[in-house]
Amino acid sequence: MKNKITKIALLSIFSLIGIFILFNLIGFLYAYITPKLDISSANAFSVFDNKGKLVFQGNGNDSWIPLDEMNENLINATISVEDKNFYTHWGFDYPRIAKAMMVNLAAGEIEQGASSITQQYAKNLFLDFEQSWKRKWKEMWLTYELEAHYTKDEILEGYLNTINYGHGMYGVSNAAKYYFNKDVKDLSLSEASVLAGIPNSPSDYSPVDNFDLSKKRQKVVLERMYNNGYISKEEMDAAYKKKLVLKNDDFGSDLSSLIYYNDAVMNELNNLGTIPNSYLDTGNIRIYTTLDVDAQKALEAGLKKNAIDENSETAKVMINPKDGSVIALIGGLNYGKSQFNRAINSLRQPGSTIKPFLYYRALENGFTPSTTFFSKETNFYFDNKKTYSPKNYGNIYANKEISLAAAIAYSDNIYAVKTHLFLGEEELFETLKKVGITSKMEKSPSLALGAYEVNITELAAAYASLANGGKKVTPHLISKVVDKKGNTLYEYKEKKEEIIFNSDITFIISELLTSTYDTNLIDYTYPTCISMTSDITHKYAIKTGSTDTDSWVIGYTPEVVFASWAGYDDNSSISTNIVAGNKSSWIKSMEKYFDKKDASWYDVPEDVVGVLVNPITGNPVSSKNENKKILYYLEGTEPNLKEGSYDKQEKQ
């Protein structure tokens, strides 16, 4: 019986091997009879920022270097560390794939990759960065096509001229100039081994950002060169010990996070539906975007504050609220580690960042900043015998009447749910649909607390309607696409202006959102953004939101909306460090953005009046009162002012 089972097992294994070999043979033969792909023009595209400056260039650029003019050490280093069997396999290194699978299964995580140089080059020949099985099948067939129609030297040449070396540098010629200010042929063994180590994880192994990690990676590269017989032990030791001299120019002008923005651009390009497939397949296009390089630098300035641990992630979006143009975007902490672009693809629970839309609707329906509800731990009962028991953060309750202004400052959940139920659940639902939230939602009590998932870019665009005085905008990254002859293939046309909010009320909301970091609202608890107060040098409207798994900060001025999310991809619970890090990251980036420009604020509308009140109770007070703030009201709805209870000149 045992022998019979063994024979069946062996037969099954040999059958699978036979099917596998047959499948690969068919794939290779099929690729051989298909038309030859013109890799010299594939992915030939250029991306420009909002000032018309080139920020990204794909295949087919002027810096293409023939293989016979490249540095031999660089070629040998790349083959040694990326694909030592490159010249002997047919595009897939199956023994290496099998070994990597065993290592990863034993470790319970991805510790080794097994992509060949041909496979990596195939990835570079696409204009899109979609992460899907369809994409992977396409890469596989293209790998077969490359191996069927091109020599190994031609494939290696293409790879070295298109691979990502970090900081927006694609191709070894650009990388050699950027890091060492040298031509490729002039690189030393020490320099070549450093460059060869970068593509595995550009953001980790850049000698500019992580010199120590770069040296560790260089040691791995040199050891593999030695093991493969390309260099002697003496050459290996000398190259590692040689002092690495980077060029002295300012490295800050190049952005390692730019790949996420470019990723989002390509995603939008593929979804336009107006660019002929021939251009998407072969490239030769110039893409003009809404990217503001200074804004992208500002996002990067705060990025390290989000790196709480090796598994935490973030997504950040800056939008011009006047027209919806996305001026900066980051989809994760490390593109080399994860290509998933959270800024455009993820859906997360927004928590309390939904509340400004609820309170806009409340103000539109007769509420004022002084409207009060009693805030205490509450169980809500409904006709269907269901109950809802929301909690405040930290289980902190006022146990007294508080104003709408205080409810925003403290992000009081009891006040929010009472407002939501008072208005009717359809009010907030319809408002969110009106501002462009397309994610699936339901009319429920928990909608007021952001219990349904949204996309960060979509939510940032919704906030733009508050920031611009009520106009709905469409978030977009591409302003124009032209072909190599200068013919316009696409141009963004701003949709007919759709006013969805009252500008008087958006002004009041914007002012109320400054309460989140105002020390005048310190009472039984603290405003949600009080930890940011000491770093704030401009006037911002800010709202935070936290769930068990998500941390959000969204804020704006008339010039910019900035949304930042932090958390874990696997929906693990977040710690207070994640929340604090996201707040710190937001204010660092926002202050950096306005470092060399003025942040304006809104003029008081004609039909709005300001009254000095106690912002916690909503009652008018004298300037001598300890807790005071000017709150704004639609004229005629301001609180009843009694003689002697305020300084008349303080009504504005």
Question: In one letter, which amino acid is 188?
Answer: S
User: Do strands 561-568 and 550-556 pair parallel, antiparallel, or not at all (unpaired)?
Assistant: antiparallel
The amino acid that residue 21 corresponds to is: I
d(CA 556, CA 541): 5
**Residue 47 tokens, joined:** 């991306």
Tell me whether residue 352 is one of the annotated catalytic residues: yes
Q: Are 527 and 410 in contact (CB under 8 A)?
A: yes
From CA 226, how far away is CA 234, in angstroms rounded? Answer: 10
Alpha helices in 228-371 (DSSP H): 233-241, 258-271, 277-282, 293-301, 342-345, 355-364
Q: Where are the beta strands (DSSP E) in 199-349?
A: 283-289, 312-319, 326-330
Name the active-site residue from 173, 214, 325, 352: 352
Residue of 80, 82, 116, 370 with catalytic role? 82
Helices 133-149, 2-33: inter-axial angle, 10-degree rounding: 70
Angle 125-33-27 (CA atoms, 0-180°, nearest 5)?
A: 70
Q: Identify whether 364 is a catalytic site residue.
A: no
Helix (H) or strand (E) holding 608: strand 608-613
**Residue 164, number of CB atoms within 10 A of its CB:** 22
Dist. CA 295–CA 624, nearest whole Å? 41
Strand 326-330 with 387-388, pairing: unpaired
* DSSP conformation letters of 562-581: EEEEEEETT-PPPPHHHHHH
284 by DSSP, 3-state: which?
strand
SS3 217: helix
Contact 233, 226 (CB under 8 A): yes
**Contact (Cβ atoms closer than 8 angstroms) between residue 586 and residue 626:** no
Cα 298 to its chain centre, rounded Å, is 13
Which are the contacts of 227, defined by CB distance < 8 A and separation ≥ 6? 80
At 485, list the tokens.
């002859």
Distance CA 356, CA 511 (A): 11
Are 31 and 147 contacting, i.e. CB atoms less than 8 angstroms apart? yes
For residues 218 and 231, give the distance between their C-alpha atoms in angstroms, rounded to a whole number: 14
Just list the catalytic residues: 82, 352
